[in-house]
Structure 1
Amino acid sequence: MSNATLQPNLFKRGLAEGKRQPGLWLTLESPNATEILAGSGYSWMLLDMEHTPVDASQVAHHLRAARGGTAELVVRIPWNEPIMMKRLLDAGVRSFMVPFVQSAEEARAAVAATRYPPHGIRGVSGNMRGNNYARIKDYGERYHEEQCIIVQIETPAAGAAIPEIGAIEGVDGIFVGPNDLAANMGLFGKPGAPEVRAEIDKMVGVIKKTGKAPGILNFNVAEARELFTQGYSYIAVGSDTAILARRSEALLAEINAA
């Protein structure tokens, strides 16, 4: 039996170093799209289970599709609950985004779901994809070293709790969701409203003070560049769906304008 080793999570290391890391959102449920985009040079890609029909049985296909590319596959789970996370960990997911975290208690629960006792509540499976079918001999001792946990801030109340959330050991990053933040501020569909932008501008400094990496989503190139300048270190700058829709429309407009 061969002995495999844990592969380094370069995205996690980049978060700790404050490295600028652009990423993409994956919503098409297509391993082919994941494979294509994994080789495009981005630092990370997020496979969205919260707002797509992607289920746990499909995730391993996306992990295989991403293998060999430059991008770490981050999975956004549907909700902050341990059963889904346990299944995905066993399938080989090591980087998570947890939506709608409102408090330090909820952030602590998210981390605990990824850790074996006595450090958490993760159940133990001896032979599974996550430990390369028991070929990674030191998996039980070292698995947490390559796990990356990002919690998502989507309300003003959660924003106020950032200092406490950022104090939780095991949280690597705090990600601001601008669309939900706007909606929860009574400004649905207006993430660029001055009040929302003011909150976003304020949050980056508060997050950095906790020692965690600040992240955000913005598909506008000029605005994404500005957010990098402000200190957001990992930004989703596009999605498979948006690239396909907007670029196909732009191409048709270019052809018709000739």
Structure 2
Amino acid sequence: MPVQLNPDPSFKDALAASDRPLAGMWVCSGSPLVAEICAGAGLDWLLIDAEHSPNGLESVLAQLQAVHGYPVKAVVRPPVNETVVIKQYLDLGVQSLLIPMVHTADDAAAAVSAARYPPLGVRGVGSALARSARWNRIPDYLARASETITVIVQIESAQAVDNVAEILAVDGVDAVFIGPSDLAASMGVLGQQEHPDVTAAVEHCIKAAKAAGKPVGVNAFAEATARRYLAAGVDFILVGADVAMLARGSEALAARYLPPLGEPVQTPASY
């Protein structure tokens, strides 16, 4: 007799159950081994990224499997807000999606529709073939699927900031996440995530989410900035990335043991 399973709680359940902001990190290496190492770090959540990272369906699946046994929530960012792509990620067993480049309420509504079966949406039905339903080992999966899926939309443009109230009002948007890097670029201050206009826009979105009663998150690698946004009331935050930590850590190791570039190497005197 096959094993009968229940879906795992998704990210919206973790947000609802927590009495503090949830702290997480990016997983961008594409490696299931690195994802598993990060899953055991004690953080609340991981963002497995397929927009700016070398991830495809197979590597996302492997990372979901690698982190599944750990007490951490996996959120996955697909490369684009597109119905077929979202369907494929959901069928892999992704339960929590971060949808990039949502600029309008229509963009947000399209993401929600892609994550829901008819008549509430347009998600294609393939539960007998898919890990999401554990190949129909989750009873009543088709009827329960929407309860188990979290749709987070990313606010990362000046247009999205202008439309944030309308985006938040879309039924089925469970949370918003603010991306200061693309936001800064769209505001004409590329690479200046700490620019006063950018931080003001981020804080405007935080206030809008609070007014709408929906969770809000943000990306902030600089600790002072992260503390600022936590004080402003964000409900979840990303504070680092696997590849960035490896880059900076390996650079520090080289700086500790090698002479600066351009300086002669000191060789020991011969005897």
TM bin, normalised by shorter chain, reads: over 0.9
Unaligned runs of 5+ in 2: 260-271
Contact 2:156 2:182 in 1 (8 A): yes
Match of 2:248 in 1: 246
After superposition, where does 1:102-181 map in structure 2 within 5 Å?
102-127=103-128, 128-181=130-183
Of structures 1 and 2, the one with the larger relative CO (CA 8 A, separation 6+) is 1
> For each residue in 1:69-114, what CA deviation from the matched residue of structure 2 results, as whole angstroms up to 9, or x when unmatched?
1221111111110101111111111110111101111101101101
Larger Rg: 2
Whole-angstrom CA distance in 2 between matches of 1:181 and 1:46: 19
What CA distance in whole angstroms lies between the structure 2 residues aligned with 1:197 and 1:226?
A: 10
Contact 2:174 2:214 in 1 (8 A): yes
In structure 1, the gaps of 5 or more residues are none
CA distance in 1, matches of 2:224, 2:71: 24
What do you get for the CA RMSD once the two structures are aligned? 1.6
Paired with 2:20 and 2:124, the residues of 1 have a C-alpha distance of: 33
Partners in 2 of 1:34 and 1:170 — Cα distance? 29
Is the contact between residue 152 and residue 175 of structure 1 (CA under 8 Å) also seen in structure 2? yes
User: Normalising by the residue count of structure 2, what TM-score does the alignment of the two structures yield?
Assistant: 0.90
SS in 2 for 1:45: strand
Q: Percent sequence identity over matched residues?
A: 41
Question: How many residues are matched?
Answer: 256
Aligned-partner Cα distance in 2 for 1:247–1:190: 23
What's 2:222 paired with? Answer: 220
TM-score by length of 1: 0.94
Alpha-carbon shift at residue 3 of structure 1 (Å): 1.1
Map 1:1-258 → 2, pairs under 5 A: 1-9=2-10, 11-16=11-16, 19-127=20-128, 128-254=130-256
Q: Deviations over 1:28-61 (max 9, x none)?
A: 1111000100111111111111112211122110
